[in-house]
Structure 1
Amino acid sequence: MGQVLFIVWRESVEAMLVIGILHAWMSHNPQAAGGKRWLWGGVALGLVLAAVLAVGLFAAAELMGAHQDAFQAGMVFVAAALIVHMVLWMRAHGRTLKRELESGMAARAERNNWWGVLALVAIAVAREGSEAVVFLYSMLAGAQGAALGWMAFGGVVGFVLALLTFWLLQLGGKLLSWRLFFRVTEIMLLLLAAALLVSGVERLMSMELLPPLVDPLWDSSALLDDMSPLGNVLAVLTGYRAHPALTSVLAYAGYWLGMLLLLRWRSPRQQRLAA
């Protein structure tokens, strides 16, 4: 439930950010007021595209038959990769996103090209929605009964929290700034991607496609059991395991080493582009 709540919250806030920037620009530019219906049409189209993807994923899983477990394991890795991509994309575009959107809107308003607005918003909403769909599929595919109900509840709570968060962010940083929001959620997203990676590796080991090497490598359940309430939250959100296999530890360490190198390589590059 915690993973579902967090990803719906974060993705919804990002989509609301794009919609909010465009809506505010239209509200302050009378010549663009007629484009608002195209804006909301783009939102609706983006949601439809995300829903089509969701239906397509579940249909594809059913068609996989005996290979359904492998398909679901693959989707876990895809979800982890999309989360990392989300973090990198926002690092690259977060500072200039408002300026880029407003300049694009100004050009479209001059040409009275509202189809472009519809397409822009649809793509933005579909992008956030598709990332959420892929992630939620990797969670829902293995859930049953009461777990599905809790995940659905988590999704609703995540969306409500997104509305509240966006409202707080719109207060101009008095209570919560965009900078702080993206910094904190960036760390949480990277931890979540690591947790998904570990989950995917464990699925491959259960299918005997990867060897555990040493299982368990250690047992820290005396300090914090990953089946306890606190331990389970850490396991879901960070990938913590009280008695992990060596393969899982190597994957976890490799992930963080790769992320450290990637972020250090991209940081000077982004500074040069911003200059």
Structure 2
Amino acid sequence: MGQVLFIVWRESVEALLVIGILNAWMNHNPEGRAGRPWLWGGVIAGFLAAVLLAIGLFEASALMSEWQDVFQTVMVLSAAALIVHMVRWMRLHGRTLKRDIESGLAAQAERSNWWGVSLLAGLAVAREGSETVVFLYGTLSAADGSTLLSMAGAAAIGFMLALLTFWLLQLGGKVLNWRLFFRVTEIMLLLLAGALLMSGVDKLIEMGVLPALVDPVWDSSSLLDDSTAAGGLVASLTGYRAHPALTGLLSYALFWLGVWFMMYRESRRS
């Protein structure tokens, strides 16, 4: 449940950021007020696109019943890669995002062409919604009816927390600022990407695609058992294993080495 709540919260805040920039500019510029219906039309279209993607993924999974384990493994590993890409994208574009959006809005307002606003709002919602679907696909596909109901509740709480977080961020740093928000959630997202990678590697070991090498390397269940509620939450958010295989540990170490190299290169470039 913690994974669902966190992902919905973080992705909703990102979508609200883009929509909030668009809406604020339109409220403060008389020439932009005519574009409001286009903005909210784009939001609705983006939400529907994310729903269609979710339906398409689960239909594709049902059609590939014989290859379901392979499909789920590919989705989990794709989600891990997508998270790393998203973190990198926000590092590169986060500082200039507001300025870039507002300059584009000004150009659209001059031409009275609001299709671009609808497209931008739709892409923002569709992107965050589709990322949420991809990130949580493995969790949702393995859930039964009662678990899905609990996940829906966690998603609703995550969205309400996103609205609260966005409101706090709009106070201008008095309580919470964007820089701190993105830095903290960036670390949490990378931990989640590592957790998804570990899940994918575990699947590949189960299918015999990868050797375990040494299994287990240690047993830390006396300290924190990942089969308990608390241990399972830590495992789903960080990739922790009480009985890790050596292949999983090597994959996890290579993942963080790659992340460090990416961050180091981007910081040198900036």
Deviation at 1:145, TM superposition (A): 3.4
Give the Cα separation in 2 of the matches to 1:268 and 1:39: 37
Secondary structure of the corresponding residue to residue 96 of structure 1? helix
Deviation at 1:136, TM superposition (A): 2.0
Deviation at 1:229, TM superposition (A): 3.7
Matched-pair contact (CA < 8 Å) for 2:3–2:233: no
Residues 97-131 of structure 1, C-alpha deviation per residue, up to 9 Å, x if partnerless?
A: 00000000000000001011111111111111110
Deviation at 1:218, TM superposition (A): 0.6
Give the Cα separation in 2 of the matches to 1:58 and 1:232: 25
Give the Cα separation in 1 of the matches to 2:223 and 2:139: 28
Matches within 5 A, 1:55-204: 55-204=55-204
Matches within 5 A, 1:38-49: 38-49=38-49
Q: Which region of structure 1 is more displaced relative to structure 2, 217-226 or 50-59?
A: 217-226
Matches within 5 A, 1:233-252: 233-252=233-252
With the length of structure 2 as denominator, give the TM-score of the two structures. Answer: 0.97
With the length of structure 1 as denominator, give the TM-score of the two structures. Answer: 0.96
Q: Does 1:13 align with 2:48?
A: no
Deviation at 1:151, TM superposition (A): 1.4
Deviation at 1:85, TM superposition (A): 1.1
Give the Cα separation in 1 of the matches to 2:227 and 2:57: 30
Secondary structure of the corresponding residue to residue 64 of structure 2? helix
Match of 1:33 in 2: 33
Give the Cα separation in 2 of the matches to 1:118 and 1:146: 37
Deviation at 1:198, TM superposition (A): 0.3
Deviation at 1:224, TM superposition (A): 2.1
Residues 14-35 of structure 1, C-alpha deviation per residue, up to 9 Å, x if partnerless?
A: 0000000010000000011010
Give the Cα separation in 2 of the matches to 1:10 and 1:171: 18
Match of 1:212 in 2: 212
Residues 132-190 of structure 1, C-alpha deviation per residue, up to 9 Å, x if partnerless?
A: 11112121111223322221111111101001100111111111111110010000000
Matched-pair contact (CA < 8 Å) for 1:73–1:204: yes
Matched-pair contact (CA < 8 Å) for 1:47–1:125: yes
Matched-pair contact (CA < 8 Å) for 1:195–1:236: yes
**One-letter identity of the residue aligned with 1:62:** A
User: Structure 2: 5+ residue runs without aligned partners?
Assistant: none
Matched-pair contact (CA < 8 Å) for 2:15–2:124: yes
Residues 200-227 of structure 1, C-alpha deviation per residue, up to 9 Å, x if partnerless?
A: 1111111222211111011112222223
Matched-pair contact (CA < 8 Å) for 1:216–1:243: yes
**One-letter identity of the residue aligned with 1:195:** A
Q: Root-mean-square deviation (CA), in Å?
A: 1.0
Matched-pair contact (CA < 8 Å) for 1:12–1:162: yes
The total of aligned residue pairs comes to 270
Matched-pair contact (CA < 8 Å) for 1:13–1:163: yes
Match of 1:221 in 2: 221
Secondary structure of the corresponding residue to residue 94 of structure 1? helix
Matched-pair contact (CA < 8 Å) for 1:79–1:138: no
Residues 59-102 of structure 1, C-alpha deviation per residue, up to 9 Å, x if partnerless?
A: 11111120011101110011111111111111011100000000
Give the Cα separation in 2 of the matches to 1:204 and 1:149: 29
